Structure 1
Amino acid sequence: MKSQEVRSQFLEFFKSKQHDIVPSAPMVLKDDPTLMFVNSGMAPFKEYFLGNAQPKNNRISDSQKCLRVSGKHNDLEEVGYDTYHHTLFEMLGNWSFGDYFKKEAIAWAWELLTEVYKIDKDILYVTVFEGSDDADNLEMDTEAYDIWKQYIAEDRILKGNKKDNFWEMGDQGPCGPCSEIHVDIRSAEEKAKVDGKSLVNMDHPQVVEIWNLVFMQYNRKANGSLENLPNKHIDTGMGFERLCMVLQGVTSNYDTDVFTPLIREIETITDKDYGKEEKIDVAIRVISDHVRAVAFSIADGQLPSNNGAGYVIRRILRRAVRYGFTFLDKKEPFIYRLVDVLVKKMGVAFPEIKEQKQLIENVIKEEETSFLRTLEQGLVLLDRIVATASEKEIAGAKVFELKDTYGFPEDLTELILKEKGFTYNKAAFQEKLAQQQDRGREASELKSDDWTVLIEDEEQEFVGYDMLEAQVKITRYRKVVSKKDGELYQLVFNLTPFYAEGGGQVGDKGYLEDTHGDVIYIVDTKKENNVIVHFAKDLPKHLNEKFKATVDAKQRFRTECNHTATHLLHQALREILGTHVEQKGSAVHSKYLRFDFSHFSKVTVDELREVENFVNRRIDGKLPLQEKRNIPMQQAIDEGAMALFGEKYGDTVRSVRFGQSIELCGGTHVENTGDIWHFKIVSEGAVASGIRRIEAITSDAVKDFYHENNRTYFEMKDLLNNAKEPVKALQSLQDENVALKKQIEGLLKDKAKNIKGDLKNEIEVINGVNFLAKEVSLDAGGLKDLAFELGGEVDNLFILFGANNDGKALLTCYISKDLAQEKQLNAGQIVRELGKHIQGGGGGQPFFATAGGKNPDGITTALEAVKDYIS
C-alpha cells in the first residue's frame, strides 16, 4: 500500500466516524511559550484541552506535521542511527473533546488496524497503565484493560509503567493514562527464539510502537498535584512512517516509499550506494530525514537563523551538511537538489511545499554554501591548532572555541584529530558546553505558579478594536519569575481592550486603575493558548473589584500607523516587483515597522522610491478602513483576502481592507490611511536567499526623521562656511582628501625605502636566525610593505615592528616561510601573546600577522619579549 493511500484511508475512516478532517497546522508555534514547534498531534488543539476555546466539531482528525528536536521530546541525535526515529514526522490522529472516550477510541483503533489495514492480529501487542505508588498514587487503568480483552488475548495486554503509559504535555497541563499499540514485524525464526512481549518498549527496531491512545482526564498543576479535568478527552497519535513500514512489509522506515525516492536521489548525486556501508547509510538516512524537516519549516515561515526556532532549523540543516561533507565526500551544495523529489512526493498532501518550492531551494542552497565555507575555515584553524600543539591531547577549550565561535562541530573535530593521531579533552569540552547551556537556560527559564481563579466560567472578550478603555474584572492571575524580567504577574480579564502580541504586532501597554485610585501598569500583553494574558509588575490590592483598563493610546496609534503601512507596503511590492512577492514575516512596533518578503534580487533605488510613492499616494488618498469580523474563511478568500503561509487561521476570520489592499488580519489599524501622515523607507537588504527585508517608519517617527536630517544639514552647512552649494563643497573636500592621501602614501613609501637600508644593517643573527625588532614610524600598510621587502632580500628572517600611530599601538610580525616551518614558529600566535603588552590582540597567518592595542608604552616591552621565541 503506497503511503498516500495509507494517509487517505486513515482520514476517510475517521470521516466516516463523524470527525472533521482538518489540515495540518504550521509546525512553528506563535502563542504557546512552552513550545517552539508542534511536537505532537495534539499541540495545535491545546486550547481545546485547556477549555480556552471550543472547536466547531468535538471530533477532529488530521495528519499533523511534527518536529521533535528541542525540549522534552528531542530525537535529533538518534536520527540516522536507528530506522524509526525522525526529526519531522507525520502524526495521524483522532481527537475527542468531551465527546467519546476509551470504549470508542479502542474499538476504532482496532477496527482500522485489523479490518481496514488488514494487519495480522497476531503481531500486535497493547499496553495499559499499571498505576503508580508515587505521590500521584494512581490506580491501574482497569477500564482500558477490560475493553482490550474484548479484542485481543490477555497475554498480549501488557502493563506499562508511568514513564511509558502516562502521557503529559509538559510540567503543567492536561494529562492522563495511555494505551499503546505495538507491532512485532520480526521474522518467524526470531519470534521463535524470543517472545515479542519481552521486547515491547525495549527500543527493538522491529518491535515498535505505532499508535498511542491517550485518555486525557487530569490536569497537572504547578505544585505537581493532579486534579480531574471538567471533561474527558481523547488524544491519539499514530506514527505515519512506522505505519507505512508495517503495511509495506519492510523493516525500516527508510525502506518505505516515504523515503526511498529521496535515498535514490542522494545515491545518484553522491555516487554512493545505500545498504553497503554503515557510516554511508547513516549519512544518507540523516540527509533524507533532515531535508524534510528543513523544507517544511521554511514553508511554514521559519527561516534558519542564529536564535530561537531559526537556530534549531539551522542546526538540523548543518547536521545534514556535515554528514554529507564527512561521509559522502560532498564539498559543494547538493541538499537543495532534493527538494524537487520531496515536492513530487508530498506536494499533494501538503501543498505549501509545492507553492514555496523555489524559496525552499534558495534558502537551503545559501545555508549549505555558507556552512561549507565555515567548515573550510574550521579545517584551517584545526590544522593550526595541531601544528602548534605541544602534546597529543588538544585542550577542550580550543575545541569548544571552534564550535562556539566558528560553528565547527565537535564530532567532526574528533574525527579529524583521530586521523592525525590526536585526541581532545572531552571532559573540559563538556564543562565549557554545560556552562554555556546553563547560561542560556538561566536567561530563558520561566517559572510560574498555578492560576488563582477568582471568577469561574467567564469567557474572555476582546473589545480593543472599538475602545481603548473598559471596565474589567480579573478572572484569574498567577505569578511568573524569569531571569530576564524578574518577578511579574499575569492577569486575565473577563474582557479587555489590550491587543495581545500577534501577527507581527507588539502587545499593548497601559494601566489598571481601581476605585481607590491605585494604579497598576500593564507592561506587555500576549496570547497564550487562546487566552489574552496581561503582564504587570505588581498585583492589584483589591483583586475582586472592578478596574478601569486603559491602553496607552499614543503607543497604540503609532503601532496602528505602522501596521496599516505594512498592508499598503505589501500591496505596493506586489504591484511594482510582481505577484511572486509574499510576506514572510513582519514586526510592527510603535517606532518602526519591519517587513520580510520573497524576492530574488536586490530592490533598486528607483524601485524603492516607486514603492514609497505608491504607499504615500494611498495615504494621501485617505482610504477608510473596511473590516469584516467573524466571517467564514472561504468567504474572505473568495472576496480576495490574502492568507499568509505559516499562520494558523480559525473557522472564522477577520478581513481588513484599505482600497484594493485586503488581507486576513487580527491586528489593529487606523480608521483612515490619512492618519498615517507619511511613510518612509529607511533600509532594504537581504535576510536569506530569496528573502528581502524593508524597515520603514511612519507618522511621528517620520517627522522626527526629517527634523533630525534638517538639523544635520544646517550643521554640515555651517562647517562648510555656509556654502551656497554644500554638496559641491563637500565633494571638493573629498577630492582634496583623496589627493592628499595619495601624497602621504607616496611619502611613506619613500620613507620606507630610505630606512630599509639602515634597518638591514641592524639585523642581528641569533641561533642562526636573522632577527630584527624595531619601533618604526610608519602606518600599518607601510610596516607590511617594509617587512615583505626585507623578507624578499634577506633569508631566514624574523621581524617584529612596533609603531605608535596617533596614540594606538601596532605590532607587525614577519617570519620567512621556511623558517616558520623549520622552527614551528607561528606569527599569529606570537602577536596574540605579545599583544597583551599593548593591551590588545591580533592574529594572522604563520608567516605574517599583526596586532593592535591601546597602550603604546608597551611597545618596547613587546620588542624585548619577542627575543624569547628564537633564543
Structure 2
Amino acid sequence: MKSQDIRKQFLQFFESKGHLIVPSAPIVLKDDPTLMFNNSGMAQFKEFFLGNGTPKCPRIADTQKCLRVSGKHNDLEDVGFDTYHHTMFEMLGNWSFGDYFKKEAINWAWELLTEVYKIPKENLYVSVFEGNPEENVPFDQEAWDIWKTLIDEDRIILGNKKDNFWEMGDQGPCGPCSEIHVDIRSAEEKAKVSGKILVNNDHPQVVEIWNNVFMEFNRKADGSLEKLPAQHVDTGMGFERLCMALQGKTSNYDTDVFTPLIEKVEQITGLKYTSNEVKDITEEQNKTNIAIRVIVDHVRAVAFAIADGQLPSNTGAGYVIRRILRRAIRYGFTFLNTKEPFINKLVEVLADQMGEFFPEIKSQQQLVTNVIREEEASFLRTLDQGLQLLDIVVAKTKGDEVSGEKAFELYDTFGFPKDLTALILKEKGMSFKESEFDASMKAQKDRSRAASEVSTEDWKVLIPGNVEKFVGYDQTENEVKITRIRKVDSKKDGILYQIVLDNTPFYPEGGGQVGDKGTLVSANETIDIIDTKKENNLILHFAKQLPENIEASFIAKVNTDLLTSTSKNHSATHLMHLALRTILGTHVEQKGSLVNPNHLRFDFSHFAKVTEEEIRKVEDFVNTRIEEQLPLVEHRSIPIQQAMAQGAMALFGEKYGDTVRMIEFGDSKELCGGIHVKNTGEIWHFKILSEGAVAAGIRRIEAITGDAVKHYFSQQESDLDAIKETLKNPQDTLKAVVSLQDDNVKLKKQIEQLLKEKAKGLKGELASQLQDINGIKFLATQVDLNPDGAKDLAYELGTLGTNLFLVLATADDDKPMLSCYISKELVAEKNLNAGIVVRELGKYIQGGGGGQPFFATAGGKNVSGIKEALEKAIDFVK
C-alpha cells in the first residue's frame, strides 16, 4: 500500500464510525504557552479534556503533524541512529470526548489493523496497565477483559506506569493506556526469540504502533489523582511505523514516506544509501546511512515548521528549528562531503510528496526553500570558522588532550556537537576531556532550567461550570465575579496569580496583539491586572496579589489609554497589509506581527528590499485611507467559507473555526479577533520608522500611529531647531549642512594623506623590529595612528615580502582597536586566519570583530587590555 492510501484508509475508517475528520493543527503552537511545538495528536484538543470548551463533534479523527525535540518528549539524539525515531512525524488519531470508551476504542483499533490493513494477528502484541497501589490506581481489568475476546492471553502484556499510564504533563488529565505493538521480524528470528519479551525493549522490528489512552483521572499539583467528571479516549498511531509494517519493510526509512527524499540526496551527493535489508555493511557505509537518515528526517521537521510560521532564530522555538537544521547540515558536511547548500533542494520533493494532504508546504514552498538555503550558507561559513578555531586550540594544546571547556566553547559558539569535535581530534591523534565538556553542558542546562522553573498550583474553583464570556468588543468595563484562581511561582516572574472571571472586557494576547492591562475594583480595594493571556480556552488575568475577598463583586476596567493606542496600531496594520499587497504585489503574505500601544511590527514575504519610493507609496496609501475616515464594518460570526469568498485575508499561522470574525475597512478585509478603531480617522496618521530583512524572503516594517507620530514629528522639529542653532541659524539650513559636509570631506582627505606619509615613515622603523619565529616574520606593537592609518601601515609592511604575521594596536580617542595582517602564503600554508586571531585577542580589550583571513580588525572598550593582547599574539606563531 502507498503511504497516501494508508492515511486515507485510516480517516475513511473512522469517518464510517461517526467521527468528524478535522485538519492537522499547525506544528507551531501560538495559543498554548505550555508547549513550544505540537508534540502529540491531542494537543489541539486539550481544552476539551480540561472541560474548558465543547468540541463540534464528540468523535473526531485526524492526522496531526508532531515535533518532538525538546522537553519530556525529546527524540532528537536518537534520530538517524535507529530506524524508527523521528523529529517530525504524523500521528493518526481518533478521539472520544465523553462519548465511547474502552470497548469501542479497542475493538475498532483491532478491526482496522487486522481486517482493513490485514496485519496478521500473530504479529501483534498488546499491553494493559498493571496498576499502581501507591497511587491507588487498580489493574485495568476492563481493558484486559476486552482484549481477551480478541487475542490470545499470552499476547497480552502487563505494563508499568512508565509504559502504560499516559499523562498530559505534571498536572492535568491522565489515565491508563493500552498499546499495540507489531513484530515485523522474519519467521526465523521469531522462532528463536518470542516477540513478547522484546516489547518495549527498543528492538527495531518490535515496535509500538498505536497507543489507546483512556482519560479517567486528573493529576493535581500535589501528585494525587481525582476522577474526571467525563471519560475520554485519546489514541495515537505512528503513521511512519504503520507504513513500515504495511509495506513489508524493517525500517521507516525504506518506506515511500522517505525514499523519494533519499533518492534526491543520492542524486545530489553521488553517494548511495543501503536499505535496512542489506546486512554486513562497512563502517563507512553505516556513517553515510546515518547521515542521510538525519537529513531526510530533519528537512521534514524544518520545512513544516517554517511553512507554519516559525523562522530559525537564536531564541525559543526558532532556536530549536535552527538546531535541527544545523544538525542536518553538519552530518552532510562531515559524512557526505557537502560543502555547499543542498538541503534546500529537498523541499521541492517534499512539497510534491505531501502537498496534497498538507497544502501549506506547497503554498510556502519558495519561502521554505529560500530560508533553508540562507541558513545552510550561513552555518557552512560558521563551520569553516569553527574548524579554523579548533586548529588554533590544537596548536596551543600541550599533549594530546584538549580542554573539555574549549570543546564546549566550540559547541556553544559554533554549534559543534561533541562527536564532531571528537571525530576531528581523532584524525589528529587527539581527544578532549569529556568530563569537563559534560560539566560545562550541565552547568548551562542548570542555569537554563533554573531560569525557567515554574511551580503551578491547582485551580481553586469558586463558581463551577461557568462558561466565560468575552465582552471586550463592546465595552471596556463591566461588573464581574471571580470564577477560579491559581498561584504560579516562577524564577523569571516571581509569584503571580492567574484569575478567571465570569465575563471579561480584557482582550487576551493573540493574533499579534498584546494582552490588555487594567484593574479589578471592589468597594474596598483595587487589584492591578498586569497582563491577559489565553490558555486552553481560558482567559487568564495576571495579578501580583489577590483581592482580600475573592468572592466579592468587582468592576473590571481596561486601561483605555493603552488599548486605544493598541487599537490604532492594529487597524493600521490591516491597512498597511492591503497597501503592501497593492504596491508590491499579491505575493505579499503576513508572516508575523506585533501590535502594542507603542508601535506595530509586521513581517511579510517579499524577495527584495522595499525602496524609499515604495515606502512613501505605502505611507501615502495608508494615510489616504485614514483621511477617508472609513468606518469599521464588523462581522462577528460569519461562516469561514463565506468570509473567504468575500475576499477576506486569513492571518498567517492562525487557527480558525467554522465561524469567524471578519474586519472591514473599505477594501481591507481580514479575519481577525483583535480590537480596532471604529473609524480610520481615529488613527490620525501613519509613519514607517524602519524596513529591513528578517530572513531570506522575509522583510519587517516597524511603524507608529496617533500620539506616537505626534511625538515623532515634535522630536524631528526639535532636532532641526538644534541643528540650526549649532550652525548659527543660517538662512538656508540644508545648504549650510551640505557646505559643512564638503569641508569635512576635504579635511578628511588631507588627514588621510598625512597619515599615509606618517605610516610610510613608520614602515622602516617597524621593519627593523620584525622577529623571526619558526620562519615567520612576527611583530605585535602599538602605534600612534587611527585605525585607517594602522591598516595602511600593515599593507605597507606587507610589501616587504612573504611570511609576515603582524598585529598592530591603536587607541584613537581612547577606543582600542586591533588590526591583524597575515601574508596570504601563511594563510594557505599554516592555516592561520586573521579573523580568528582578532576574535581571540579581542577578548582582552573587551570586544571582538572579524574580517578576511589575511586582514581583520577588532574593536573594544578596555584600552588597558592592549598590552596583554599584544603579548598573547605571539602564541599564534610559536
Q: What TM-score, normalized to structure 1?
A: 0.94
For residues 844 and 150 of structure 2, the distance between their equivalents in structure 1, rounded to whole angstroms, comes to 81
**Which of residues 334, 340, 356 in structure 2 aligns to 1:326?**
334
Show CA shifts across 1:512-543 (max 9, x none): 11122x11100000000110000001111010
- Does residue 540 (structure 1) correspond to residue 547 (structure 2)? The answer is yes
Show CA shifts across 1:230-262 (max 9, x none): 100000001111111111111111111111111
1:831, distance to aligned residue in structure 2 (A):
7.9
1:835, distance to aligned residue in structure 2 (A):
7.5
Counterpart residue type for residue 380 of structure 2: L
Is the contact made by 1:525 and 1:533 (CA closer than 8 Å) also made in structure 2? yes
1:753, distance to aligned residue in structure 2 (A):
2.6
| Structure 2 counterpart SS, 1:480 | strand
1:445, distance to aligned residue in structure 2 (A):
2.2
CA RMSD of aligned residues (A): 2.8
Show CA shifts across 1:377-436 (max 9, x none): 111212222223222111122222222223333322221111111211221112222222
Counterpart residue type for residue 142 of structure 2: E
Deviates more, 1:212-221 or 1:773-782: 773-782
**Which of residues 505, 509, 518 in structure 1 aligns to 2:517?**
509
| Structure 1 counterpart SS, 2:133 | coil
| Structure 1 counterpart SS, 2:530 | strand
Q: 1:459 to 1:838 in 2, by over 3 A?
A: closer
| Structure 2 counterpart SS, 1:806 | helix
Show CA shifts across 1:439-473 (max 9, x none): 22222222111111111111100000000001000
Residue in 2 aligned with 1:278?
A: 286
Is the contact made by 1:831 and 1:842 (CA closer than 8 Å) also made in structure 2? yes
Residue in 1 aligned with 2:12?
A: 12
Residue in 1 aligned with 2:277?
A: none
Residue in 2 aligned with 1:298?
A: 306
1:815, distance to aligned residue in structure 2 (A):
7.8
Q: What percentage of aligned pairs have identical amino acids?
A: 67
Is the contact made by 1:841 and 1:853 (CA closer than 8 Å) also made in structure 2? yes
Residue in 2 aligned with 1:487?
A: 495
1:823, distance to aligned residue in structure 2 (A):
12
| Structure 2 counterpart SS, 1:465 | coil
Residue in 2 aligned with 1:256?
A: 255
**Which of residues 372, 377, 380 in structure 1 aligns to 2:388?**
380
Is the contact made by 2:804 and 2:822 (CA closer than 8 Å) also made in structure 1? yes
Q: 1:806 to 1:21 in 2, by over 3 A?
A: closer
For residues 286 and 865 of structure 1, the distance between their equivalents in structure 2, rounded to whole angstroms, comes to 41
Q: 1:340 to 1:851 in 2, by over 3 A?
A: closer
For residues 58 and 147 of structure 2, the distance between their equivalents in structure 1, rounded to whole angstroms, comes to 24
Residue in 2 aligned with 1:597?
A: 604
Q: 1:590 to 1:841 in 2, by over 3 A?
A: closer
Residue in 2 aligned with 1:167?
A: 166
Is the contact made by 2:177 and 2:211 (CA closer than 8 Å) also made in structure 1? yes
Counterpart residue type for residue 314 of structure 2: N
Q: 1:823 to 1:69 in 2, by over 3 A?
A: closer
Is the contact made by 1:352 and 1:645 (CA closer than 8 Å) also made in structure 2? no
Residue in 1 aligned with 2:39?
A: 39
| Structure 2 counterpart SS, 1:238 | strand
| Structure 2 counterpart SS, 1:182 | strand
Deviates more, 1:566-575 or 1:793-802: 793-802
Residue in 2 aligned with 1:698?
A: 705
1:83, distance to aligned residue in structure 2 (A):
0.8
Q: 1:797 to 1:327 in 2, by over 3 A?
A: closer
Residue in 1 aligned with 2:379?
A: 371
For residues 873 and 696 of structure 2, the distance between their equivalents in structure 1, rounded to whole angstroms, comes to 47
Deviates more, 1:339-348 or 1:547-556: 339-348
- Does residue 679 (structure 1) correspond to residue 686 (structure 2)? The answer is yes
Q: 1:67 to 1:713 in 2, by over 3 A?
A: same
Deviates more, 1:22-31 or 1:211-220: 22-31
Q: 1:774 to 1:203 in 2, by over 3 A?
A: closer
Residue in 2 aligned with 1:106?
A: 106
1:840, distance to aligned residue in structure 2 (A):
7.0
Counterpart residue type for residue 564 of structure 1: S
Show CA shifts across 1:330-351 (max 9, x none): 1111111111111111111111
For residues 532 and 137 of structure 1, the distance between their equivalents in structure 2, rounded to whole angstroms, comes to 34
Deviates more, 1:492-501 or 1:276-285: 276-285
Residue in 2 aligned with 1:125?
A: 125
- Does residue 457 (structure 1) correspond to residue 465 (structure 2)? The answer is yes
For residues 130 and 788 of structure 1, the distance between their equivalents in structure 2, rounded to whole angstroms, comes to 78
**Which of residues 519, 527, 549 in structure 2 aligns to 1:520?**
527
For residues 63 and 164 of structure 1, the distance between their equivalents in structure 2, rounded to whole angstroms, comes to 23
Is the contact made by 1:388 and 1:824 (CA closer than 8 Å) also made in structure 2? no
Give the unaligned 5+ runs of structure 2. 275-280
For residues 46 and 457 of structure 1, the distance between their equivalents in structure 2, rounded to whole angstroms, comes to 17
1:851, distance to aligned residue in structure 2 (A):
6.4
**Which of residues 567, 572, 596 in structure 1 aligns to 2:574?**
567
1:781, distance to aligned residue in structure 2 (A):
3.0
Is the contact made by 2:651 and 2:672 (CA closer than 8 Å) also made in structure 1? no
Residue in 2 aligned with 1:410?
A: 418
Show CA shifts across 1:283-326 (max 9, x none): 11111111111111111111111111111111111111111111
Counterpart residue type for residue 425 of structure 1: K
| Structure 2 counterpart SS, 1:212 | strand
Deviates more, 1:147-156 or 1:635-644: 635-644
For residues 361 and 433 of structure 1, the distance between their equivalents in structure 2, rounded to whole angstroms, comes to 33
Count of aligned pairs between the two proteins:
869
Residue in 1 aligned with 2:278?
A: none
Show CA shifts across 1:784-805 (max 9, x none): 4335534644888787766553
For residues 169 and 714 of structure 2, the distance between their equivalents in structure 1, rounded to whole angstroms, comes to 52
Counterpart residue type for residue 452 of structure 2: S
For residues 429 and 596 of structure 2, the distance between their equivalents in structure 1, rounded to whole angstroms, comes to 55
Is the contact made by 1:211 and 1:236 (CA closer than 8 Å) also made in structure 2? yes
Deviates more, 1:11-20 or 1:752-761: 752-761
- Does residue 644 (structure 1) correspond to residue 651 (structure 2)? The answer is yes
**Which of residues 635, 638, 654 in structure 2 aligns to 1:631?**
638
Counterpart residue type for residue 291 of structure 1: V
Counterpart residue type for residue 41 of structure 1: G
For residues 268 and 239 of structure 1, the distance between their equivalents in structure 2, rounded to whole angstroms, comes to 29
Show CA shifts across 1:79-131 (max 9, x none): 11111111111111110000000011111111111111111111111100000
1:752, distance to aligned residue in structure 2 (A):
2.8
- Does residue 21 (structure 1) correspond to residue 16 (structure 2)? The answer is no
Counterpart residue type for residue 690 of structure 2: S
Is the contact made by 1:80 and 1:286 (CA closer than 8 Å) also made in structure 2? yes
1:651, distance to aligned residue in structure 2 (A):
2.4
For residues 727 and 404 of structure 1, the distance between their equivalents in structure 2, rounded to whole angstroms, comes to 50
1:812, distance to aligned residue in structure 2 (A):
5.9
Q: 1:159 to 1:776 in 2, by over 3 A?
A: closer
Q: Superposed, which structure 2 residues align to 1:758-777 within 5 Å?
A: 758=765, 776-777=783-784
**Which of residues 432, 448, 452 in structure 2 aligns to 1:424?**
432
- Does residue 149 (structure 1) correspond to residue 156 (structure 2)? The answer is no
Show CA shifts across 1:58-94 (max 9, x none): 0001111111111110111111111111111111111
- Does residue 612 (structure 1) correspond to residue 611 (structure 2)? The answer is no
Q: 1:740 to 1:630 in 2, by over 3 A?
A: same
- Does residue 730 (structure 1) correspond to residue 740 (structure 2)? The answer is no
Residue in 1 aligned with 2:479?
A: 471
- Does residue 177 (structure 1) correspond to residue 185 (structure 2)? The answer is no
For residues 4 and 844 of structure 2, the distance between their equivalents in structure 1, rounded to whole angstroms, comes to 69
**Which of residues 350, 366, 382 in structure 2 aligns to 1:342?**
350
For residues 857 and 615 of structure 2, the distance between their equivalents in structure 1, rounded to whole angstroms, comes to 42
Is the contact made by 2:392 and 2:876 (CA closer than 8 Å) also made in structure 1? no
- Does residue 231 (structure 1) correspond to residue 230 (structure 2)? The answer is yes
Q: 1:745 to 1:673 in 2, by over 3 A?
A: same
Is the contact made by 1:374 and 1:408 (CA closer than 8 Å) also made in structure 2? no
Q: 1:844 to 1:392 in 2, by over 3 A?
A: farther
1:860, distance to aligned residue in structure 2 (A):
7.5
For residues 17 and 717 of structure 1, the distance between their equivalents in structure 2, rounded to whole angstroms, comes to 80
**Which of residues 705, 715, 730 in structure 1 aligns to 2:722?**
715
Is the contact made by 2:809 and 2:816 (CA closer than 8 Å) also made in structure 1? yes
Q: 1:430 to 1:179 in 2, by over 3 A?
A: same
Give the unaligned 5+ runs of structure 1. none
For residues 866 and 206 of structure 1, the distance between their equivalents in structure 2, rounded to whole angstroms, comes to 57
Show CA shifts across 1:257-286 (max 9, x none): 111111111111111111161111111111
